[in-house]
Amino acid sequence: MPEAVVNKFINHPEETVIDGLKGLVLGNEELKLHPHNWRVVLRAKQPENAVALIAGGGSGHEPYAAGFVGTNGLTGAVSGDVFASPSSEAVFNALQAVTKKEGTIVYVINYTGDRLNFGMAVERFKAISKQQNVDLVYIDDDVSLEAKTNTVGGRGLAGAATLFQIVGYLAEVKNVKFDELLETSRKIVANSGTFGVSLKPCAIPGKPRMFELDADKMELGLGIHGEPGCERTKIAEAKSVVATALERLTKSKRLQLTKDDDYIVLLNNLGATSQIELGILEGETLKWLAENGFKNIKKFAVGTVMTSIDAHGISLTIVKVQDKAWVDAFDHHSSVSSHLQISTPVLNLDRLNFQKEADESDVQTLGKSIPKETAKSFEAAIKAAADAIEKKEDLLNKLDGCGDGDCGTTLKTAAKAVKQSLSDGKVDFEHPQTALTQIARIFEKSVGGTTGAIYAMFFTAGSVLYEQSTDAATFHEALKRGLDAIMKYGHAKPGHRTLVDPLHAAAEAVNSPKGESDWKTVVEAIEKAAEDTAKMEAKSGRASYTNAEEQHRPDPGAIAVATFAKAAFDAFYGHK
């Protein structure tokens, strides 16, 4: 069976590059397309008296390189087809458009096609123009294949972005001249190293993914064109991934970073890594550096600067600082830094020390007390309810298919937290107001999202009724008070196919239930109302956003209430 094409927001695969460049220019009045070659993006107004900076290569690595054209960044960029070098003619057009007496430096990520086409264009331009202040800088920051013997050198990766941030500043702000800027550029590259890790390869527009990685595998050192890396290994936690990358980087031949060295770090998204993953990886990176004694971090940058279309992966770049100006560059806005979040971190892990908050045991004693035997039955009922809900995890998750599929898991988290608190003796069952307030705090603390808020609100609102009384009428009023709070803030009403339906049935079943038979009637009403939600159309909660035909099973929240009620009733009255 042929592999499926990965869908993308494009018009036609063969027009992807030009369409993308048109969009970039239309959205930024500081940019323009070359009038005769739309593969070339230029600054609408060139900076005065500054060395021109050109870069480029195959498309698919955006924002590299066209996205870096602009203030304190590149003067021009040349884009080939996806993962294919631009023609030497396009590079020549760019050189003609930007080169002045100050000269031009052309930056090439180190791939054979790019070296040939950019080199050809430079030689042709120099021969025709007689301009000698034009030269190439090869970016070869990949350290993953250092052990392989070849004459090609490392591949060009995200180190291009840190390089451009620095040289753009030096050219435009500090007005550094051609020869010095050329030497500095090569020095920056020589002191830059990058190591990448990928969980899923990319897909070229109109094509399936370039290859498949097993679900339990990751590739170390995968190239930005899908080239093989240095090792395919079992997937690991973020902290292990970061440790592997940083160990390879700091010990690499080109960096050999010592604990006395000043350095800059870039965490780059290869295309499809989520922001929450990047946050985790940033934290693990800074923790590893602190724990391993690399205290002299001067800047930390995180963002999407050198991609492999939609690859799910990241790369880490370290620049070993040789000049204070390299660090100063990261304090100046540029067309490169606009894609980055840049900080000056202080590697003080004490900032992460967790201070224990007050928990349910710190709730002051509230309300009237009940007899010890009744309190024991109350505790048994709560524990039984928690046990029952744990056993229903899978069923509740299955019923939650119209929502987000985690109702059972969320309530299991709550049940375990309640049972732990009971085991620790933190809940005061002799004072119902206190106990209900404490249970509400457990939900607030341990359960996030809508579920935590609903149950915390229910128990908090209902608990107030036990301040002056603990009789059956009080329980009935507490139930109604809790229900009213849920309806007020959750906007759910009876008939909306939510947990409100069984709670409302309980409130209406018997007025002030007094004995076991009355409570049995209440529980039966709850169970019937929960099952009847299968016949309703959801009008509240996430299920309300789904089609009515998908809502053919009982609401999981309602079934959870019925589960609680039946288990608590049986335990309170000693039923097996």
8 A C-beta contact, residue 21 and residue 56: no
Location of structure tokens 């399936």: 208
Closest by CA position to 393, among listed 369, 373, 410? 410
Written as six digits, the tokens of 239 are: 């902290």
CB neighbour list of residue 40: distance below 8 Å, 6 or more residues apart: 33, 34, 76, 77, 78, 79, 90, 93, 94, 97
HSE-up (13 A, CA, CB side) for residue 348: 5
Q: Strands (DSSP E) along 18-83, which ranges?
A: 31-34, 37-43, 52-59, 76-82
- Sheet with 340-343: list strands edge to edge: 231-234, 217-220, 192-200, 312-320, 263-269, 297-303, 340-343
27: left (phi over 0), alpha (psi -120 to 50) or beta: alpha
8 A C-beta contact, residue 156 and residue 107: no
The three-class DSSP label of residue 293 is coil
Angle between helix axes 516-532 and 500-509 (nearest 10 degrees) is 150
What's the burial of 500, exposed, middle or buried (CB within 10 Å: 0-12/13-18/19+)? buried
- Is 225 tagged catalytic? yes
Q: How far apart are CA 132 and CA 126, in angstroms?
A: 6
The residue from 225, 312, 431, 504 that is catalytic is 225
Q: Give the β-pairing of 52-59 and 31-34.
A: unpaired
8 A C-beta contact, residue 146 and residue 251: no
Q: How far apart are CA 253 and CA 143, in angstroms?
A: 8
Q: How far apart are CA 549 and CA 93, in angstroms?
A: 60
8 A C-beta contact, residue 340 and residue 302: yes
Q: Give the β-pairing of 76-82 and 52-59.
A: parallel
Kindly tell me the number of DSSP H helices and DSSP E strands found in the chain: 17, 13
Q: How far apart are CA 114 and CA 119, in angstroms?
A: 8
Closest by CA position to 242, among listed 302, 201, 187? 302
At 138, which helix (H) or strand (E)? strand 134-139
Partners of residue 509 on adjacent β-strands: none
Written as six digits, the tokens of 285 are: 């990176």
Number of Cβ within 10 Å of residue 358's Cβ equals 9
Q: Strands (DSSP E) along 321-386, which ranges?
A: 340-343
8 A C-beta contact, residue 398 and residue 569: no
Q: Which residues are catalytic?
A: 225
